[in-house]
């Protein structure tokens, strides 16, 4: 009886010892040395895994940050300068100032502006619709309204407006990760510089047709007349393929182009109401 107990104890001890030796050898053989700073950087990143930085997730981005010599060209659009500053402290690098951005929708083809010429009956997916045909309006550059961008947004910063049939970007929530830009098969969404009080001036149209057909398809289309290019004092506006483009980094928000545009394709958003227009309004404010 006692010999059985003794035998069992000896056997188990030997087995345990053997396993310990094997585990030790394996652990030494397959040891992975990881920079402990990766974990530290990963902790300060937002953890949204949105891919806005251009890498597969926050972990991948922290590995890139630790490996790289400088922060040039690297940015977390969600955390912005604050997060990048924290990462810079951990890694003892020079933080690179990056302008915060915001997504804007460059289409204003609401049913009011752009007449519907057909109904779309297929799968509610912009890429499917885009591959299939020109769209429900005569403009085959504009928004298809199936909401791929809204589905792609991980920050709840977009929704489809039922009246305009266009997606709406909520300024406060948008982090400019660029997921919607990639999702849109028609390249309507653009990342622009985020200005004070989220003020925006941009061409809300991507139609590259000549003036006549563009205007026929949509009343607020850019007809490529070039008036805005001439009036801009900062050379911020360029014209290519009958379509104007305002460089958001050159634009000083003077709003001269907005008044000049004959079709109203240039939108000004989040600006206070102009003083000269409603006179009574100005008076009440003074009082």
Partner 1 sequence: MFKTFPKGGIHPPENKITADKSVIVLPLPSTVTVPLNQHIGAPATPVVEKGSAVKTGQLIAQAKGFVSANIHSPVSGKVSKIEPVADSTGYKQMSIIIDAEGDEWVETTDRSATLVKEITMTREQIVERCRDCGLVGLGGATFPTHIKMTVPSGKKCDMLIINGVECEPYLTSDHRLMIEKGPEVLTGVTIIMKALGVTQAVIGIEANKPDAISTLAGLSKEFAGISVVALKVKYPQGGEKQLIKACTGREVPSGGLPLDVGVVVQNVGTAFAVYEAVQKNKPLIERVVTVTGKSVSRPGNFLVRIGTPVTKLIEAAGGMPDDTGKVVNGGPMMGKALAMTDVPVTKGTSGIILFPEPESRREEMMPCIRCGKCSSACAMGLEPWLLSVLSEKAMFEKAEADKITDCMECGACAYTCPAKRPLLDYIRLGKTTVIKMVRERITK
Question: Would you tell me which residues interact with partner 1 (CB under 8 A)?
Answer: 117-118, 121-123, 125, 127-128, 131-136, 138, 140, 209
| Residue 109 · residue 166 · CB < 8 Å | yes
Residue 135 CB neighbour total at 10 angstroms:
24
**Backbone angle region of 79, left / alpha / beta, with phi > 0 → left and psi within -120 to 50 → alpha:** alpha
CB nearer to partner 1: pick between 127 and 227:
127
From the CB of 104, what's the least distance to partner 1, in Å? 25
CB nearer to partner 1: pick between 4 and 119:
119
From the CB of 226, what's the least distance to partner 1, in Å? 21
From the CB of 24, what's the least distance to partner 1, in Å? 40
From the CB of 251, what's the least distance to partner 1, in Å? 31
From the CB of 128, what's the least distance to partner 1, in Å? 5
CB nearer to partner 1: pick between 158 and 214:
214
Residue 150 CB neighbour total at 10 angstroms:
18
CB nearer to partner 1: pick between 53 and 139:
139
CB nearer to partner 1: pick between 125 and 164:
125
């Amino acid at each position: 009886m006692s010999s059985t107990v003794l035998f069992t104890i000896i056997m188990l001890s030997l087995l345990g010892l053997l396993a310990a030796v094997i585990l030790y050898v394996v652990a030494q053989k397959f040891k992975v040395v990881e920079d402990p700073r990766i974990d530290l950087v990963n902790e300060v990143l937002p953890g949204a895994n949105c891919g806005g930085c251009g890498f597969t997730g926050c972990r991948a981005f922290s590995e890139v940050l630790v490996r790289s010599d400088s922060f040039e060209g690297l940015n977390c659009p969600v955390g912005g300068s604050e997060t990048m500053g924290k990462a810079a402290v951990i890694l003892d690098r020079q933080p690179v100032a990056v302008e915060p951005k915001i997504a804007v929708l460059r289409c204003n083809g609401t049913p009011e502006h752009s007449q519907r010429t057909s109904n779309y009956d297929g799968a509610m997916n912009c890429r499917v619709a885009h591959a299939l045909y020109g769209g429900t309006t005569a403009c085959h550059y504009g928004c298809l309204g199936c909401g791929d961008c809204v589905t792609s947004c991980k920050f709840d910063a977009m929704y489809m407006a039922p009246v305009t049939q266009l997606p709406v970007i909520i300024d406060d929530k948008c982090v400019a990760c660029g997921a919607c830009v990639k999702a849109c098969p028609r390249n309507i969404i653009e990342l622009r510089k985020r200005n004070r009080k989220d003020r925006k001036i941009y061409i809300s149209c991507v139609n590259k047709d000549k003036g006549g057909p563009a205007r026929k398809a949509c009343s607020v289309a850019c007809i490529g007349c070039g008036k805005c290019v001439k009036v801009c004092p900062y050379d911020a506006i360029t014209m290519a393929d009958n379509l104007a483009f305002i460089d958001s980094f050159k634009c000083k928000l003077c709003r001269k182009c907005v008044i000049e545009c004959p079709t109203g394709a240039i939108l000004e958003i989040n600006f206070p109401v102009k003083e000269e227009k409603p006179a009574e309004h100005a008076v009440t404010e003074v009082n």
